[in-house]
Structure 1
Amino acid sequence: MRSTDEVGTTIRLWSLSEDAMVEDDGENGSVNVVTRWGELSVEHAGAFAIESLRRMELGPVSLQNVVAARKASPVRRLHDLAGLERVLDKVSGSVVHSLGLPDGRRPLLSAVPVVAAPEFHPTAVPASLAIRLSRFAVLRPQGGDLVLEAPRADFRVVLSQPQAVRIASALAAPATIAGLAGDTGIPEPVVADAVAFLVAAGVVLAGDEKDEFAEDTDPELRHWSHHELHFHTHSRTRQSGDADSADSAYRQATETQPPLTRTPPDGKRFPLHRPEPETLAATDPPLTELLETDHECPRFSGTALTAEELGELLFRSARVRGVGPAHPPMPAGHDASQRPYFSIACLYELELYLSIGHCAGLPAGLYHYDPAAHALTQLSPEVADVGTVLDLGKVAAGSLRRPAVMITLTARMERTSWVLGGAAYATTLMHAGALQQTLYLCAKAMGLSAHAVPVDASDTVDRLFGLDWPAEIGVGECVLDSGR
């Protein structure tokens, strides 16, 4: 990617990602490259390829310059370059492709792989075609640069120079290369090369002869909103893409463990009923019976629960049974709690808040549940506050009556993020589902009714329960009824 005019010259550069490490095994020219995707072994890589990889560990290099500096015949140079390209194909998940300018400053932009075996083949985009950012694209700051990424792209693009930022931001609407050059004041050859990189990375789309983009009419994409598809792709990996943030989180994890449970808030305490597990085991219906009974939409009877029933339900589904050594992937030397519902590595980041409207033996109010002490702490006795939350449950359930009780599930994200990184929030949603299922089955065994409801809480839940957002966030609701 060079032009004859120095002003419009760009230079292709290659480097290895920061998490890659080259290990020469010292035998027959083979090399091992340790990457985030695993250890990759390339046999008969050759001395030239190994030396080039070591240079790429230090930062972006021009392969053409490396080959040109080699004292060898033209045929040998071509052979060496072909061998190096074979090795780079093997480790493509750790090869960063950059586009530089002759000024010797940082690259204009860099395409960083986010999958294990991507292909990167920048080709010139015809001048007549319209180009545009993917409708799923996101631009965000990271480490002093702007990062452009899209859920369907195999690369995220680091925009390190103002020219690259101007080009990317100008692609919010369809444009041609000539139009971009005119709008940004950047030489057209540089714009053309940058666009080729962005299209090859997958964050920018090239239209067809009718200036239409395949992404806009793809039937498989019509089901996805931008934020849902972006969340899905990021939640399936523990890699944050931000090495400094990951290192900081790991240091925090190994030095200070987040508390197993939240410190109970100030307020009047209400110890709850503790049933005998042996009695429950003898009288409960079989699990198969509970699972094979048809589900019903919540019907609120208007009959109050009892404090004993509520205590038994929380005891069976959410209490802390005990504390012991933590399980992997948590670091050694930490503790973990045991509770009735499933949680990866016993992280148990969920907290329960109760909005009690009708429960014999407990005054109406907003409460926090302490799973270690199996007790409720009243946060607010205000009837209006309780009604506001219960009305959310009523609307979500499509009912004319308020539920007797609504449980709000929240998550303390520090409990999961320090272990699971980018997969923390998705894991929390899975844990919320596990707790909802446990509440549902336990309530059914007791003859009660428990149903998850899709509450649009906005900031109401955060405000009324005094959540320290985003350290603690609402993740779900469950309405309870006596079923009588």
Structure 2
Amino acid sequence: MVVIPPPEESPLRLHHLWSLREDTAVGWDEEGQALLLSGPQGTERIEAPTTVVAEALHRMELGPIRLANLLQPKDGAAAGQDSYTVVLSVLRAISHLVIRTLSLEDLKGPVLSVVPAGRTARFAMARVPSQRRVRLRPNVTITVQGNAFLLECGALEHRVQIHRPEAMWVVSLLAWPTTPDALVEVAPLPAELTLAILGHLAGAGMTVAAG
């Protein structure tokens, strides 16, 4: 399995969104020099954050954002890319607090969200080779949580919230061993969306190799 960074956009208008766990509060320390991220797992301290890092975290506290929206065209492409790199570095350091959401630009809401469940949780979207047979991890449970389905497994450090039928179609097809190519052929979805859903499920550990 090859780990790849998710693209910011695509012709299908897939969006990769970032937010903080709902139980995480963001605030400044008493000197106003460091950001404190507080939650049930303790407090993370980010010393002397740049303006764009502070803005990103405050906005992520309120809900999912596209990191590309933080880039300032007036600063030039190089400066914007530098800011983007700095933000990504901070988010990787606090990845156990960061929710990753896949969305479509169709005003119907998010497709799925990968939620960290452990302090050492590290998520990266994964690309499964086109002919590799995979299936849903056998001990993954599927329950209803509000308006979403929740996939979880005690051995994993992420949960996956399924917000839309498109993601559930892919999950249901993974009940039996299949390949990404077969999923693309069978699922009634654009190929890129099918593979993005699979990539998030695989990155969260919800799939295993099948013989």
TM-score (norm 1): 0.40
Change (3 A) 1:29 1:72: farther
* 1:51 partnered with 2:60: no
Aligned CA RMSD, in angstroms, stands at 1.7
> Which residue does the alignment assign to 1:106?
109
User: How far 1:56 sits from its partner (Å)?
Assistant: 0.7
Q: Please point out which of 75, 83, 86 is paired with 2:86.
A: 83
Structure with greater strand share of residues: 2
The sequence identity of aligned pairs, in percent, is 28
* 1:120 partnered with 2:137: no
User: How far 1:29 sits from its partner (Å)?
Assistant: 4.9
Q: Please point out which of 147, 164, 167 is paired with 2:167.
A: 164
- Any residues of structure 2 matched to 1:8-87 within 5 Å, and which? 9-25=13-29, 27=31, 29-67=33-71, 69=72, 71-87=74-90
> Which residue does the alignment assign to 1:433?
none
The letter for the 2-side match of 1:92 is S
Which one has the largest radius of gyration?
A: 1
Determine the C-alpha separation between the residues in 2 that align with 1:118 and 1:22: 20
Structure with greater helix share of residues: 1
- Any residues of structure 2 matched to 1:334-373 within 5 Å, and which? none
Q: 1:101-151: CA deviations, max 9, x gaps? A: 111332100000000131111132211111211011111000121001122
Determine the C-alpha separation between the residues in 2 that align with 1:188 and 1:29: 46
What 5-or-longer segments of structure 2 have no aligned partner? 1-6
> Which residue does the alignment assign to 1:193?
196
> Which residue does the alignment assign to 2:99?
96
> Which residue does the alignment assign to 1:398?
none
Confirm or deny: 8 A CA contact 1:30 1:46 kept in the other structure. Answer: no
Change (3 A) 1:78 1:107: same
Which structure is richer in relative contact order (CA contacts within 8 A, separation 6 or more)?
2
TM-score (norm 2): 0.90
Confirm or deny: 8 A CA contact 1:42 1:90 kept in the other structure. Answer: no
* 1:175 partnered with 2:182: no
Give secondary structure in 2 for the equivalent of 1:71. Answer: helix
Q: Please point out which of 5, 10, 18 is paired with 1:3.
A: 10
Confirm or deny: 8 A CA contact 2:187 2:194 kept in the other structure. Answer: no
Confirm or deny: 8 A CA contact 1:155 1:201 kept in the other structure. Answer: yes
Confirm or deny: 8 A CA contact 1:45 1:84 kept in the other structure. Answer: no
User: How far 1:66 sits from its partner (Å)?
Assistant: 2.0
* 1:203 partnered with 2:210: no
Give secondary structure in 2 for the equivalent of 1:108. Answer: strand
> Which residue does the alignment assign to 2:133?
130
> Which residue does the alignment assign to 2:4?
none
Determine the C-alpha separation between the residues in 2 that align with 1:88 and 1:3: 22
Determine the C-alpha separation between the residues in 2 that align with 1:59 and 1:150: 25
